[in-house]
Each structure stands twice: as structure tokens, then as C-alpha cells.
Amino acid sequence: MYSFDSRVRYSECSEDGRLSILALVNYLQDCSTFHSEAVGLGLDYMRKRHFAWFIAAWQIEIDELPSFDEPITTSTWCYDIRRLMASRNFTIARSGESPCVRADSLWFAFDTQERRPVRVPEGQEAYLTGESRLDMPTTQRKIAVRGSATETTPILVVEQHLDTNRHVNNAQYISMALDALAESGDQVDLHRIAVQYKNMALLGDTIVPRIHNAEHGKAIDLASPEGKSYAIVKLESE
């Protein structure tokens, strides 16, 4: 397991003084990249080998969001690596307390030069440290959307949406879905976020949020104007 300690910063809070969802997801992905650095498989290692880990799916359960200035510990561990995929858990906990956020995620290896998924390279077993999977429902590789949809304002992909891989960062899709839901006037008493990442949105692309009704909440299909889905974000209450 890899962990790092922090305090909830003012710049990471939403208007209610609690950790924003965007900041929460950033803590999770930062923890995984710190873990990579700690085991010698970090950004420089991957750049030299034209290799990266891309996320295929998230499942995030939120019991309560930490408040401004609270000490928190973010932890991650990889519990399974197979030929084509790896699985990773995360937690966020207040100091000395049980986790208030739990997450499961599925990742695939990607050749950044050939621009295609590849088998997991040798040496990645360094991530495995023996921890078991969290007691959570199975993370679904695919999220279905059904029925009519409400479209909200299209989003032009700009530099601030991109990460080091020059595509829209995974946390940004979740933020876009939340903004679309707010624009539509709908609300979800958020407890669970599930995401399926389908295609990479790049600089200059247009993303059209389409909001569908779903069991226990809403499913937002973030797609091109022609209907090619980039990501589907499902927002659920308890």
C-alpha cells in the first residue's frame, strides 16, 4: 500500500466548504502517480518506454466529504495485474478514522507511440504488495444508457482539460458531468460515481453532455456532436 498525508486546502473546496468532487478524484489519481514514482515506475520511466497506464473504469463510493483544513490520508494499492488489465483500490480517510471515500478502478496498458493498448509490460508486478480488494460491488466495464436524453451546453476542449498524455484528464470528465447536471437543474444526493472511459477527447474537440435517467440517479453520456461517446458518468444516490 502507498499512502500520503495532506490537509484539505481552501482551493480544493466547493461552496459548502467541503472537498470538491474534482479535487477528490485528483487526490486519487495523484496517489496512484506517487505510487508509481515510489516503486521506480514513474513518469520518466514510462516516457522513455513510450508507455502509460490509462484508466478504463472508476467506481467511487462517498460516505462523507472531508471539510476545509481537515487532515486526510489518501491510500492506494494494486490488488490484481493480468495480461491486459490491472485493478487498483483507493481510500481517503480522516486522521485516525475509517475511510470516508472508497474507490475501485480498472486500468489498461497503452503504447503512447503506436497509440494502442498493449499487454502489461514486465516489471509491473512491483505494484503488488499483497493487500486484498475492498469489499465493494464489482466495477462494471460498461455502463448502459437508455431512453431519451437532455442535452446541455457543449464543451470545447481547451488546454486546462488536458494532462501529460495530451488528452482530457479522467477527472475532468466527472467535473463536466457534474456541471451538466447542475445546468439541467437536476440533483443527485451523491453517494456513488461510476465511470466508463470509451474514447480520448483531444484539444479542440467538442463534448456534448447528454443526461439520461438511470436507476438511483443520472447517467451523463459525454459524446461528440456526432454521437461518439468519450465517457459515461453515472451519478447515484444511496
Q: What are the b/e assignments for 71-84, b being 16+ CB within 10 Å?
A: ebbbbbbbbebeee
pLDDT the model gives residue 97: 85
pTM for this model (two decimals)? 0.93
Q: Give how far the C-alpha of residue 7 lies from the chain's centroid of Cα atoms, to the nearest Å.
A: 21
pLDDT the model gives residue 164: 84
pLDDT the model gives residue 223: 97
pLDDT the model gives residue 80: 94
Domain 2-127: which topology?
A: Thiol Ester Dehydrase; Chain A (3.10.129)
> 130: phi > 0 → left, psi -120 to 50 → alpha, else beta; which?
left
pLDDT the model gives residue 123: 87
Crossing angle for the helix pair 21-38 and 170-184, nearest 10 degrees? 170
pLDDT the model gives residue 64: 95
Residue range(s) of every CATH 3.10.129.10 domain in the chain: 2-127, 150-236
H helix or E strand, kind and range, residue 24: helix 21-38
What is the dihedral sign for C-alpha 112, 113, 118, 119? negative
Q: For residues 108 and 58, give the distance between their C-alpha atoms in angstroms, rounded to a whole number.
A: 13
Q: For residues 99 and 7, give the distance between their C-alpha atoms in angstroms, rounded to a whole number.
A: 15
CATH code reported for the domain at 150-236: 3.10.129.10
Strand runs (DSSP E) across the chain, as ranges? Answer: 2-7, 51-62, 71-81, 85-94, 99-111, 116-118, 150-151, 155-156, 192-197, 206-214, 217-223, 229-236
Tens-digit pLDDT string for the chain (238 aa):
999 999 999 999 999 999 999 999 999 999 999 999 999 999 999 999 998 999 999 999 999 999 999 999 999 999 999 988 999 999 999 988 889 999 999 999 999 989 899 999 888 888 998 999 999 999 999 999 988 999 999 999 999 999 888 999 999 999 999 999 999 998 888 999 999 999 999 999 999 999 999 988 999 999 999 999 999 999 999 7
